[in-house]
Protein backbone atom coordinates (compact mmCIF):
# COMPACT_ATOMS: atom_id res chain seq x y z
CA UNK A 1 0.00 0.00 0.00
CA UNK A 2 1.26 3.48 -0.90
CA UNK A 3 0.11 6.43 1.23
CA UNK A 4 0.90 10.08 0.53
CA UNK A 5 -0.12 13.65 -0.18
CA UNK A 6 -1.89 13.97 -3.57
CA UNK A 7 0.87 15.99 -5.26
CA UNK A 8 3.57 13.49 -4.28
CA UNK A 9 1.50 10.49 -5.38
CA UNK A 10 1.10 12.22 -8.77
CA UNK A 11 4.88 12.60 -9.03
CA UNK A 12 5.24 8.83 -8.45
CA UNK A 13 2.68 7.80 -11.07
CA UNK A 14 5.19 5.92 -13.23
CA UNK A 15 6.50 3.91 -10.27
CA UNK A 16 3.16 2.63 -8.93
CA UNK A 17 1.71 -0.67 -10.18
CA UNK A 18 -1.95 -0.87 -11.16
CA UNK A 19 -2.52 -3.55 -8.53
CA UNK A 20 -1.09 -1.43 -5.72
CA UNK A 21 -3.48 0.08 -3.23
CA UNK A 22 -2.94 3.86 -3.17
CA UNK A 23 -4.30 6.28 -0.60
CA UNK A 24 -3.73 9.97 -1.29
CA UNK A 25 -5.04 12.73 0.93
CA UNK A 26 -4.97 16.52 0.91
CA UNK A 27 -2.54 18.90 2.55
CA UNK A 28 -2.82 19.41 6.36
CA UNK A 29 -4.20 15.87 6.63
CA UNK A 30 -0.86 14.55 7.87
CA UNK A 31 -2.18 13.00 11.08
CA UNK A 32 -5.09 11.23 9.34
CA UNK A 33 -2.73 9.94 6.66
CA UNK A 34 -0.31 8.61 9.26
CA UNK A 35 -3.13 6.91 11.18
CA UNK A 36 -4.30 5.17 7.99
CA UNK A 37 -0.78 3.99 7.23
CA UNK A 38 -0.03 2.77 10.75
CA UNK A 39 -3.37 0.94 10.99
CA UNK A 40 -2.81 -0.79 7.65
CA UNK A 41 0.69 -1.84 8.81
CA UNK A 42 -0.81 -3.23 12.04
CA UNK A 43 -3.21 -5.25 9.88
CA UNK A 44 -0.15 -6.86 8.31
CA UNK A 45 0.14 -4.75 5.16
CA UNK A 46 3.48 -3.57 3.82
CA UNK A 47 3.01 0.20 3.65
CA UNK A 48 5.12 2.90 1.99
CA UNK A 49 4.49 6.40 3.34
CA UNK A 50 5.68 9.00 0.85
CA UNK A 51 7.38 12.34 1.52
CA UNK A 52 9.09 14.70 -0.89
CA UNK A 53 12.77 15.48 -0.33
CA UNK A 54 13.93 13.73 2.83
CA UNK A 55 11.10 12.20 4.89
CA UNK A 56 13.21 12.95 7.97
CA UNK A 57 13.30 16.74 7.43
CA UNK A 58 9.89 18.32 8.19
CA UNK A 59 8.51 15.17 6.53
CA UNK A 60 6.39 12.17 7.48
CA UNK A 61 9.09 10.05 9.19
CA UNK A 62 8.68 11.87 12.49
CA UNK A 63 4.91 11.62 12.61
CA UNK A 64 4.97 7.89 11.86
CA UNK A 65 7.52 7.26 14.62
CA UNK A 66 5.71 9.58 17.05
CA UNK A 67 2.56 7.50 16.55
CA UNK A 68 4.51 4.26 17.02
CA UNK A 69 6.06 5.63 20.24
CA UNK A 70 2.83 7.17 21.59
CA UNK A 71 1.01 3.85 21.28
CA UNK A 72 4.06 1.72 22.10
CA UNK A 73 3.53 -0.29 18.92
CA UNK A 74 5.76 -3.17 17.94
CA UNK A 75 5.97 -2.18 14.26
CA UNK A 76 9.06 -2.43 12.11
CA UNK A 77 9.64 0.93 10.40
CA UNK A 78 12.47 1.68 7.99
CA UNK A 79 13.24 5.32 7.20
CA UNK A 80 14.74 5.74 3.73
CA UNK A 81 16.71 8.99 3.52
CA UNK A 82 16.34 11.35 0.58
CA UNK A 83 17.84 14.58 -0.69
CA UNK A 84 16.24 17.39 1.26
CA UNK A 85 15.40 20.73 -0.42
CA UNK A 86 18.40 22.55 1.10
CA UNK A 87 20.85 20.19 -0.59
CA UNK A 88 18.87 19.90 -3.83
CA UNK A 89 18.60 23.69 -4.14
CA UNK A 90 22.27 24.12 -3.18
CA UNK A 91 23.39 21.90 -6.06
CA UNK A 92 21.40 24.05 -8.48
CA UNK A 93 22.94 27.26 -7.11
CA UNK A 94 26.54 25.98 -7.09
CA UNK A 95 28.04 25.23 -3.69
CA UNK A 96 26.53 27.54 -1.06
CA UNK A 97 26.44 24.91 1.75
CA UNK A 98 30.18 24.22 1.81
CA UNK A 99 30.46 25.49 5.38
CA UNK A 100 28.39 25.20 8.58
CA UNK A 101 24.70 25.77 7.86
CA UNK A 102 21.33 26.00 9.57
CA UNK A 103 18.01 24.75 8.22
CA UNK A 104 14.99 26.74 9.46
CA UNK A 105 11.31 26.53 8.53
CA UNK A 106 9.44 29.86 8.53
CA UNK A 107 6.09 28.15 8.97
CA UNK A 108 4.56 29.10 12.32
CA UNK A 109 1.62 26.71 11.99
CA UNK A 110 3.21 24.20 14.41
CA UNK A 111 6.01 26.31 15.98
CA UNK A 112 5.63 29.59 17.90
CA UNK A 113 6.94 32.54 15.84
CA UNK A 114 9.12 33.68 18.81
CA UNK A 115 11.01 30.38 18.69
CA UNK A 116 11.60 30.81 14.95
CA UNK A 117 12.70 34.44 15.39
CA UNK A 118 15.18 33.40 18.08
CA UNK A 119 16.66 30.75 15.76
CA UNK A 120 16.92 33.23 12.87
CA UNK A 121 18.79 35.62 15.20
CA UNK A 122 21.18 32.95 16.50
CA UNK A 123 21.90 31.49 13.05
CA UNK A 124 22.58 34.95 11.58
CA UNK A 125 24.74 36.02 14.55
CA UNK A 126 26.76 32.77 14.24
CA UNK A 127 27.47 33.50 10.56
CA UNK A 128 25.83 30.26 9.44
CA UNK A 129 24.75 29.77 5.85
CA UNK A 130 20.96 29.56 6.27
CA UNK A 131 18.45 27.51 4.28
CA UNK A 132 14.83 28.64 4.69
CA UNK A 133 11.97 26.17 4.18
CA UNK A 134 8.31 27.21 3.77
CA UNK A 135 9.38 30.85 3.36
CA UNK A 136 5.98 32.17 2.27
CA UNK A 137 2.44 31.06 1.44
CA UNK A 138 -0.75 32.86 0.42
CA UNK A 139 -1.63 33.24 4.11
CA UNK A 140 1.88 33.78 5.48
CA UNK A 141 3.50 36.73 3.72
CA UNK A 142 5.21 38.66 6.54
CA UNK A 143 7.63 36.03 7.90
CA UNK A 144 10.11 36.31 5.04
CA UNK A 145 10.22 40.10 5.48
CA UNK A 146 10.88 39.78 9.23
CA UNK A 147 13.51 37.13 8.58
CA UNK A 148 15.29 39.44 6.12
CA UNK A 149 15.24 42.29 8.68
CA UNK A 150 16.85 39.99 11.26
CA UNK A 151 19.52 38.90 8.77
CA UNK A 152 20.33 42.53 7.91
CA UNK A 153 21.22 43.15 11.57
CA UNK A 154 24.08 40.64 11.25
CA UNK A 155 24.85 40.24 7.54
CA UNK A 156 25.84 42.76 4.84
CA UNK A 157 23.14 43.88 2.35
CA UNK A 158 25.20 42.40 -0.51
CA UNK A 159 25.29 38.92 1.09
CA UNK A 160 24.39 36.50 -1.73
CA UNK A 161 20.92 34.93 -1.62
CA UNK A 162 19.86 31.99 -3.78
CA UNK A 163 16.20 31.41 -4.58
CA UNK A 164 15.16 28.05 -6.05
CA UNK A 165 11.60 27.11 -6.92
CA UNK A 166 10.58 23.44 -7.39
CA UNK A 167 14.16 22.22 -6.90
CA UNK A 168 14.86 19.14 -9.07
CA UNK A 169 11.19 18.64 -9.94
CA UNK A 170 11.63 19.17 -13.68
CA UNK A 171 10.09 22.64 -13.55
CA UNK A 172 12.93 24.11 -11.49
CA UNK A 173 13.66 27.87 -11.59
CA UNK A 174 16.59 29.60 -9.91
CA UNK A 175 17.83 33.12 -9.21
CA UNK A 176 20.85 34.52 -7.43
CA UNK A 177 20.35 37.89 -5.76
CA UNK A 178 21.32 39.45 -2.40
CA UNK A 179 19.76 40.39 0.95
CA UNK A 180 19.07 43.92 -0.30
CA UNK A 181 17.04 42.77 -3.30
CA UNK A 182 15.71 39.34 -2.38
CA UNK A 183 12.10 40.47 -1.85
CA UNK A 184 11.87 41.65 -5.47
CA UNK A 185 11.74 38.01 -6.62
CA UNK A 186 8.93 35.48 -6.45
CA UNK A 187 9.05 33.39 -3.28
CA UNK A 188 6.30 30.84 -2.60
CA UNK A 189 5.59 27.51 -0.88
CA UNK A 190 7.73 25.47 -3.28
CA UNK A 191 10.69 27.84 -2.86
CA UNK A 192 13.88 27.22 -0.90
CA UNK A 193 15.89 30.34 0.00
CA UNK A 194 19.61 30.06 0.84
CA UNK A 195 21.39 33.01 2.49
CA UNK A 196 25.19 33.00 2.38
CA UNK A 197 27.66 33.48 5.21
CA UNK A 198 30.14 36.39 5.34
CA UNK A 199 32.48 34.67 2.85
CA UNK A 200 29.94 33.49 0.28
CA UNK A 201 30.51 34.99 -3.17
CA UNK A 202 29.04 34.76 -6.65
CA UNK A 203 30.63 34.08 -10.04
CA UNK A 204 28.62 33.91 -13.26
CA UNK A 205 25.38 32.14 -12.20
CA UNK A 206 27.04 30.37 -9.26
CA UNK A 207 26.80 30.91 -5.49
CA UNK A 208 29.90 29.61 -3.69
CA UNK A 209 30.83 29.43 0.00
CA UNK A 210 34.57 28.77 0.37
CA UNK A 211 35.63 25.86 2.58
CA UNK A 212 38.91 27.60 3.46
CA UNK A 213 41.46 25.89 1.21
CA UNK A 214 44.43 27.88 -0.15
CA UNK A 215 44.10 27.84 -3.94
Judged by the rule CB under 8 A, the positions of this chain that interact with a second copy are 30-31, 54-59, 61-70, 72, 79-84, 87-88, 90-92, 94-105, 110-111, 115-116, 118-119, 121-123, 125-128, 168, 201, 203-204, 206, 208-215
Nearer to a second copy, 180 or 199 (CB): 199
Smallest distance from a second copy to CB 84, Å = 6
Q: Residue 195: which of 97, 115, 108, 126 has the closest Cα?
A: 97
Nearer to a second copy, 131 or 179 (CB): 131
Q: What is the 3-state secondary structure (H, E, C) of the chain?
A: CEEEEHHHHHHCHHHCCCCCCEEEECCCCHHHHHHHHHHHHHCCCCCEECCCCCCCCCCHHHHHHHHHHHCCCCCCCCCCCCCCHHHHHHHHHEECCCCCEEEEECCCCCCCHHHHHHHHHHHHHCCCEEEEECCCCCCCCCHHHHHHHHHHHHCCCCCEEEEEECCCCCCCEEEEEECCCHHHCCCCCCEEEEECCCCCEEECCEEECCCCCCC
Nearer to a second copy, 20 or 210 (CB): 210
Nearer to a second copy, 20 or 135 (CB): 135
Smallest distance from a second copy to CB 97, Å = 5
Nearer to a second copy, 59 or 135 (CB): 59
Smallest distance from a second copy to CB 8, Å = 17
Smallest distance from a second copy to CB 202, Å = 9
Smallest distance from a second copy to CB 87, Å = 5
Nearer to a second copy, 17 or 213 (CB): 213
Taking the C-alpha atoms of residue 72 and residue 78, their distance in angstroms, rounded to an integer, is: 16
Smallest distance from a second copy to CB 19, Å = 28
Amino acid sequence: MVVGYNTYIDLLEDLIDEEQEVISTGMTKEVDRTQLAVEAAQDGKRVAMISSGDAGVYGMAGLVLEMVAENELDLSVEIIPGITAANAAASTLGAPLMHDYAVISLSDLLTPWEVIIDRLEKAAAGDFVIALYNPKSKQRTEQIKEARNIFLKHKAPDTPVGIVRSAKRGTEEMMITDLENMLNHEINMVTTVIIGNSETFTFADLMITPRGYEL
